[in-house]
Chains A and B, each alone.
Chain A
C-alpha cells in the first residue's frame, strides 16, 4: 500500500464530544484531502490542504475543522460531534507526477450516538 494511514479506524462517540481523526502519509505529497462517504452521496469533499498550514473548504465543511502543522499529518476535527456526522471518513493524498491521481487511506468509521 502507498504510505497513507488513518487513525483510529473505528470510533464510537456520543453527541457533543470532540473527535479528531488523523491522516498520516510517508510520501511527502503536498496535497491531502478528507472525504466522507455516505449512502447515496458517494464521496464528498470536506476539506483539503495544499501545504503546511494551507487548507481550504470542500462542499461539506460545516461542523469540521482541519489542521496541517507538518507535511505528513492532516487532522480532521469535529468540535462537537452530531449524529449527522456518522459516516466513513477517507483521507487521500495526491501524487505530484502530473496525473493528479488520488491514493486513499483505509477509511475511519465514525459512529455518533
Chain B
C-alpha cells in the first residue's frame, strides 16, 4: 500500500490569513500527485494534477508546488475565505501506474470570520 501522508490533520484560521499544508509521498517511481478539495456533504473535486519536479500550479488564491525528489507537495491558500473551508486531499498513484490512486487522510481547513 502506497504511503501518502498529510499534515496537519486540521487547521483553523481566520479570514484573510494565508495558510499551507503538506503532502508527502514515496519519491521512488513517482508518476503524479493530485490535489482534491472536499466540501462537507459534497464530493471531492479535483484542484490540480502535478507530474513534474518543480511544478507549480495556481487556481485563484490556491496554489501548489511539487518536489518529486524529496517526495512532498505543498498547497497554499492566500487570504483564506470562509468558502475555502473544506478538507483538502492529496493522492498519488505511485508505482509508475495511473490505475490506483491512493489518498492521504486529508487536511481539514476551517476559516472563520
A residues near B, CB below 8 A?
A: 31, 33, 35, 40-45, 48, 50, 56, 58-59, 90, 94, 99-107
Instruction: Report Cα–Cα, A100/B105, bound state, in Å.
Output: 20
Instruction: Report Cα–Cα, A112/B8, bound state, in Å.
Output: 32
Among B83-113, those with CB < 8 Å from A are 89, 91, 93, 98-106
In this complex, what residue of B is CB-closest to A50? B99
- Which residues of B are found within 8 Å of A31, using beta-carbon distances? 99
Please report whether the interface of chain A is mostly helix, strand, loop or mixed according to DSSP. Answer: strand
B44 and A104 within 8 A (CB): yes
Write the nearest CB–CB distance from A45 to chain B, whole angstroms.
6
Assuming the contacts A59-B1, A100-B49, asked whether A45 and B43 have C-beta atoms less than 8 A apart, the reply is no
Assuming the contacts A43-B44, A90-B43, A107-B43, asked whether A100 and B102 have C-beta atoms less than 8 A apart, the reply is no
- Which residues of B are found within 8 Å of A107, using beta-carbon distances? 43
Query: Given A42-B106, A43-B44, A59-B102, 11 other A-B contacts at CB below 8 A?
Result: A43-B91, A50-B99, A56-B100, A59-B1, A94-B98, A100-B32, A100-B101, A102-B36, A104-B43, A104-B44, A107-B43
Instruction: Report Cα–Cα, A107/B39, bound state, in Å.
Output: 13
In this complex, what residue of B is CB-closest to A104? B43
Task: Give how many A-B residue pairs fall within 8 Å (CB-CB).
Answer: 52
- State the interface size on chain B (CB cutoff 8 A): 22
In this complex, what residue of A is CB-closest to B46? A101
Write the nearest CB–CB distance from B64 to chain A, whole angstroms.
14
Instruction: Report Cα–Cα, A94/B101, bound state, in Å.
Output: 10
A42 and B105 within 8 A (CB): yes
Write the nearest CB–CB distance from A7 to chain B, whole angstroms.
15
Write the nearest CB–CB distance from B98 to chain A, whole angstroms.
5
Most B C-beta atoms less than 10 A away, residue of A42, A45, A106: A42
Assuming the contacts A90-B43, A100-B93, asked whether A48 and B100 have C-beta atoms less than 8 A apart, the reply is yes
Instruction: Report Cα–Cα, A101/B46, bound state, in Å.
Output: 7
